[in-house]
Amino acid sequence: MKARWHSDWDEVYAKMIKIFTDTAEARRTVLRRKLFEDVQVAPHVQASLDRRFGAGTTPAQAVDRIIADVRAEGDAALRRYSQAIEGVTLSDIVVPREEIDQAYTQLDLGLIDALRLAATEIERFHRKQSRQSWVDWNNEGALGQLIVPLERVGVYTPGGTAPLPSSLLMAVIPARVAGVDEIVVCSPPQRDTGQISPLVLVAADIAGVQTVYKLGGAQAIAALAYGTESVRPVDKIVGPGNIFVVLAKRAVYGVVDIEALPGPTETLVIADETTDPRLAAADLLAQAEHDLLASAILLTPSHQLAEQVQAEVGRQLEELGRAEIAAQALERQGGIVVVPSIEEAITLANEYAPEHLCLLLHDPWRYVGRVRNAGGVFLGERSFEVLGDYVAGPSHIMPTGGTARYASPVNVDDFRKIISLVALNDCALERIGPAAARLAAAEGLTAHEAAVRRRLPEHDNPPTAPGQEEAG
């Protein structure tokens, strides 16, 4: 492993993750957010776009073309793009029941039990999130809200060489708890078998998915949004994916709802002198191994801990199966920032608004009330992020790219809508009707004003202007 990277590993890779001692510099560099549009595709991806769609084609232009073709051609476009992009000839777009049953035989029983345990814990957590319809009756009538589940939801689950059954569970189960009538899944088939990963199929079955489609990429998002001969359109699309999936979700938003535009995953760890450097390093590496764009950052007031974690990262990298990916992610987006205090670390964390905020502190509860922006907060060395990725309970589909300033993790309310209920009587009309008429007149909406005044008693119903009395 050392030879694949560099001949002098101790000198170079022991300091793979950089230490910053100037917080101003850290703000300009490792803590500086990049715009979604600034993400560059890999050269081989651009070459593929040029070959399929013409020289200089951007990912967004390719996605627009795919969506237009799926809208115009339906299943034929799905089959064509599946062959061209994924190298798979689609016979059946819908996964048959026997293929799902066969998937169970391809997995270790312990793995199936782990999926079931994760599903149980995710459901247990989201059952706590209850919100009911309400109606407030009084002498003026009634006002209220109807809390109604969505009818049909589509969940995108990455597949191919890197299937994510955990993400499927994290999206499907909150939707089921919300009462969604029908939940469907799209996942790309594996190139070598032409079938969806058994992990994804078993997870879908355990989660209660009604239909699974062998579809990936932008074409899957287009099918879910607009429908084809084989795919009925949905009301909302959720789930992570590559740049083409994210661009497609952005393009169809408004036709359907989406939960977010998920970007590269990220974690920000705040640690003090009591933190075990081995565990802090392990948490940073667990994030960095996701992909080359993942971000893993440590904030600490202890310069000694910073150096210990830096060394531990180098040592532990050697043991990883995805060591090269983790190393490049740490080198490009990772960093250790030495801060004046934990309070300053919390301030920086709120500015950065991380997807995952890990408080590896002696007394993490002391700082929870100061956290304003984070997708999820993980308190202490026994509440580490990987547990949240799989089995803790909350959905791991969390806001990225700084959107934790205003967004939330996927939850039950993502799959419900509110319908306002208004049932007022004459008593309410007499009290609030004149104000409504005056506001309408101030906005120049005379038909609005008239709709109020025609219902008011005669003495409260003057004409809008002289000479405009109602005829007859």
Which of the residues are catalytic?
Answer: 355-356
What sign for the dihedral angle of Cα 57, 63, 64, 69? positive
Please say whether the beta carbons of 185 and 216 come within 8 A: no
For the chain, the 3-state helix, strand and coil shares in percent, each to the nearest 5, are: 45, 15, 40
Bridge partner list, 212: 185
291 Rama class: left (phi>0) / alpha (psi -120 to 50) / beta: beta
User: Three-class SS of residue 4?
Assistant: helix
Nearest C-alpha neighbor of 154 from the set 213, 102, 79: 213
E strand or H helix at 452 = helix 446-453
452 Rama class: left (phi>0) / alpha (psi -120 to 50) / beta: alpha
Please say whether the beta carbons of 310 and 14 come within 8 A: yes
Extract the tokens encoding 244.
Answer: 């083409």
Compute CA 190 distance to the chain's CA centroid, rounded to the nearest angstrom.
23
Compute CA 319 distance to the chain's CA centroid, rounded to the nearest angstrom.
30
E strand or H helix at 135 = strand 134-138
Nearest C-alpha neighbor of 81 from the set 272, 217, 205, 245: 217
Question: What is d(CA 455, CA 458) in angstroms, rounded to the nearest whole number?
Answer: 9
Nearest C-alpha neighbor of 221 from the set 188, 181, 265: 188
Nearest C-alpha neighbor of 342 from the set 318, 320, 360: 360
Question: How many residues make up the chain in this entry?
Answer: 472
Q: Which residues contact 440 (CB under 8 A, 6 or more apart)?
A: 446, 448, 449, 452
Extract the tokens encoding 171.
Answer: 């999206």
